[in-house]
Amino acid sequence: MPHSAPRAHFALTLLSALLLAAPALGADVEAQRIERILAQTPLVDGHNDLPWEIRTRFAGDLSKVDLSRSTLTLPAPAGSPPLMTDIPRLRAGHVGAQFWSVFIPVEVPGAAAVQMTIEQIDLVKQMCARYPDDLAMAYTAADVARAHRAGRVASLIGVEGGHQINNSLDVLRAYYDLGARYMTLTHSSNTAWADSATDNPAHHGLTPFGREVVREMNRIGMLVDLSHVSEETMRAALAVSEAPVIYSHSSARALVDHPRDVPDDVLRLVAANGGVVMVNFFPGYVSEARRRWDAERAAEVARNNSPPFGGLYIGQPERAKAALAEWERAQPKPAVGIGDVADHIDHIRQVAGVDHVGLGSDFDGIPEGPTGLDGVDKYPALLAELAHRGWSDAELAKVAGGNALRVLARAEEVSVRLRAARGPSTATLALDAPPQAQ
C-alpha cells in the first residue's frame, strides 16, 4: 500500500486544520446566537453617565463632541479615563435601550439642583435631536420596542438622587412630565427623607415624607431606584412600593461586602416585589479583592498626604506621589474581568431568580471597567460568558433587557390603577415634623 503514508499525512493535516479552526467557528456561531437574541429583545442598560461627562468635559456643548465617531481619543481631564460611550460602540454592543443618568452632585443645593437637573434632561433630548437616525427618546416600554424595531437606541432618563427634587413632589411630577422614568432615592449622601448606603444613618430608612415620595412615584409611573440607598431604606421602600422597583446599577453583597451592593435577604424581597437588580460593572463592586485594595490604597494616600495637618509627606506632593507609586508596585492592583461580573449575575439569578436580574453598567460614571468590559461595545462578550455557563436563549434575553422592560411595563400598569384611585399627593417635608405639644 504505497499511498497509505501520504493519505495518513493528509488526514492528520486536515484534522489539525479543523481543530485550529474549531474555536473560531465556535466564536462565530456564538456571536450569531447573541446577535439573534438581541435582534429580538432590546438590550437595556440601566445606567450611563455620559450626559454628566459631556457637561464637565465640554461644558454641555454637543458641538464639541461628535458622538457619531469614536470618543476614545477625545481629551480627558487629568486622571480621568477616555469616554466609554459613542454611537459606533453602542451599535457594536447591540444596545437597544439606554437609561441616561441626569446626575448632579449632592453638594448642589435647592433651586440650583432643580435647574441643573432640567439642564441635564435637556442635554439628553439634545443628544437625540442631534442624532435622530441613531437615538430616539422613549417614555414607555412600547416606545422602547418601537425604537428597537426602527433600529435606533431608545433613550430613557433616570434622575440619580432624591436631592434633585428639592424636597418637592411638584418637582418630582415635573421631572416625570419632562421624561424622567426613574429616580434613585439617594445618591452618596442622605437626603432629608432617606438614608444613603454611603452616609451615616439619620432616618434608619425612609421618613414619613420619604414613604410618600415612593407612593407618588408609584402613582405617576416613575420607577423607584434603590441603587445607592442604605439597607434600611431598601427594606422600607420595598415595604411601601406597589410597583416593581429597580436597582439601576448595583451588584450582590454576598460576593462583595460593599454597601452599594444588595444583600441576599433583600434580593429575595426584590423577587417578591417583581423588581430587577441591574448589575454594576465597577471593579470595586464586583471583586472583593479589588474592594479591599481600593480601601487600602485610599488609606495609603491619606497616610502620605492628608491636608491640612496630617500625612507623612504633607506639603511634599512629589514625595507623596513617589511613596504611593512604591506602594502600588508592592501591592499590584487585583485583576477584574468579565467573569467577576458574570458571577454577580449568576448569584442574583440563584437567589432571586432569572426574572430579577439585568445590566446596569455605570459606564462613564466609573473610572474603569473590568478587563474586556470597558465600553458600551462589550455587552455581547458578557452575554457570551453567560452562554458558556449554560444560559439558554430565553434566559439571556431576560437578563439583556426583557426583565427591565417587564418592570417598566408593570410600573405603567400600576400607575393607571393608582391615578384612577387618587390624585396628586400634597405631602410636604412638614409631614416629618414631630407633633406639637398640646
Task: Give the other-Cβ count within 10 Å of 171's Cβ.
Answer: 18
Q: Which residue among 94, 163, 187, 203 is the active-site one?
A: 187
Tell me whether residue 148 is one of the annotated catalytic residues: no
Are 275 and 319 members of one domain?
no
pLDDT above 80: residue 256: yes
The mean of the pLDDT values for the chain is 94
DSSP 8-class letter at 84: -
Residue 1 domain-assigned (yes or no): no
Q: Which residue among 249, 258, 347, 356 is the active-site one?
A: 249
CATH number for the domain spanning 226: value is 3.20.20.140
Residue 33 domain-assigned (yes or no): no
Query: What is the per-residue pLDDT across 97-112, written as a single tens digit (0 to 9) for each?
Result: 999 999 999 999 999 9
Tell me whether residue 49 is one of the annotated catalytic residues: yes
Mean pLDDT of 215-223: 98
pLDDT above 80: residue 23: no
Q: What pLDDT is recorded for position 18?
A: 45
- For residues 330 and 326, give the distance between their C-alpha atoms in angstroms, rounded to a whole number: 6
Strand, helix or coil at 197?
coil
Q: Which residue among 86, 160, 231, 346 is the active-site one?
A: 160
Q: What pLDDT is recorded for position 29?
A: 87
Tell me whether residue 199 is one of the annotated catalytic residues: no
Torsional class of 10: left (φ above 0), alpha (ψ -120 to 50), beta (otherwise)? alpha
Residue 135 domain-assigned (yes or no): yes
Q: What pLDDT is recorded for position 25?
A: 55
Are 76 and 119 members of one domain?
yes
Residue 26 domain-assigned (yes or no): no
Q: Which residue among 45, 47, 343, 356 is the active-site one?
A: 47
Are 168 and 57 members of one domain?
yes
Tell me whether residue 160 is one of the annotated catalytic residues: yes
Q: Are the C-beta atoms of residues 191 and 183 closer than 8 Å to each other? A: no
Query: What is the per-residue pLDDT across 152-184, written as a single tens digit (0 to 9) for each?
Result: 999 999 999 999 999 999 999 999 999 999 999
Tell me whether residue 134 is one of the annotated catalytic residues: no
Are 192 and 267 members of one domain?
yes
Q: Identify the helix (H) or strand (E) that includes residue 94.
A: none
Query: Residue 28's pLDDT band (boundaries 50, 70, 90)?
Result: confident
pLDDT above 50: residue 364: yes
Q: Which residue among 49, 134, 212, 395 is the active-site one?
A: 49
Query: What is the per-residue pLDDT across 373-402, written as a single tens digit (0 to 9) for each?
Result: 999 999 999 999 999 999 999 999 999 999
Q: What pLDDT is recorded for position 8?
A: 55
Are 120 and 262 members of one domain?
yes
Strand, helix or coil at 206?
strand
Beta-carbon contacts of 180 under 8 Å, excluding residues fewer than 6 positions away, are: 102, 121, 157, 158, 159, 222
Are 136 and 281 members of one domain?
yes
| The amino acid at 7 | R
Residue 387 domain-assigned (yes or no): yes
Are 236 and 365 members of one domain?
yes
Residue 218 domain-assigned (yes or no): yes
Query: Residue 24's pLDDT band (boundaries 50, 70, 90)?
Result: low
How far apart, in Å, are the Cα atoms of 351 and each of 355, 390, 401? 11, 17, 19
Beta-carbon contacts of 419 under 8 Å, excluding residues fewer than 6 positions away, are: 219, 220
pLDDT above 80: residue 436: no
Tell me whether residue 265 is one of the annotated catalytic residues: no
Locate the DSSP E strands across 32-120.
43-48, 95-101
Query: Residue 7's pLDDT band (boundaries 50, 70, 90)?
Result: low
Q: Which residue among 355, 362, 364, 377 is the active-site one?
A: 362
Are 48 and 174 members of one domain?
yes
Q: Identify the helix (H) or strand (E) that includes residue 70.
A: none
Are 308 and 261 members of one domain?
no
Residue 8 domain-assigned (yes or no): no
Of 335, 354, 374, the position where a domain reaches its end is: 335
Q: How many domains does the chain have?
A: 2
DSSP letter for each residue of 227-246: TTB-HHHHHHHHHH-SS--E
Q: Are the C-beta atoms of residues 187 and 160 closer than 8 Å to each other? A: yes
Beta-carbon contacts of 270 under 8 Å, excluding residues fewer than 6 positions away, are: 238, 245, 247, 262, 276, 277, 352, 356
Percent of the chain with pLDDT over 90: 89
**Domain hosting residue 247, numbered range:** 41-286+336-432
Mean pLDDT of 130-144: 98
Q: What pLDDT is recorded for position 106?
A: 98
Percent of the chain with pLDDT over 70: 93
How far apart, in Å, are the Cα atoms of 150 and each of 114, 156, 228? 34, 16, 34
Query: Residue 303's pLDDT band (boundaries 50, 70, 90)?
Result: very high
Are 422 and 348 members of one domain?
yes
Q: What pLDDT is recorded for position 419?
A: 98
Q: What pLDDT is recorded for position 428?
A: 97
Mean pLDDT of 45-72: 98
Query: Residue 311's pLDDT band (boundaries 50, 70, 90)?
Result: confident
Are 211 and 328 members of one domain?
no
Per the model's pLDDT, the better-predicted residue between 10 and 274 turns out to be: 274
Q: Are the C-beta atoms of residues 38 and 58 closer than 8 Å to each other? A: no
Of 335, 369, 401, the position where a domain reaches its end is: 335
Tell me whether residue 28 is one of the annotated catalytic residues: no
Are 72 and 110 members of one domain?
yes
Residue 275 domain-assigned (yes or no): yes
Mean pLDDT of 319-324: 93
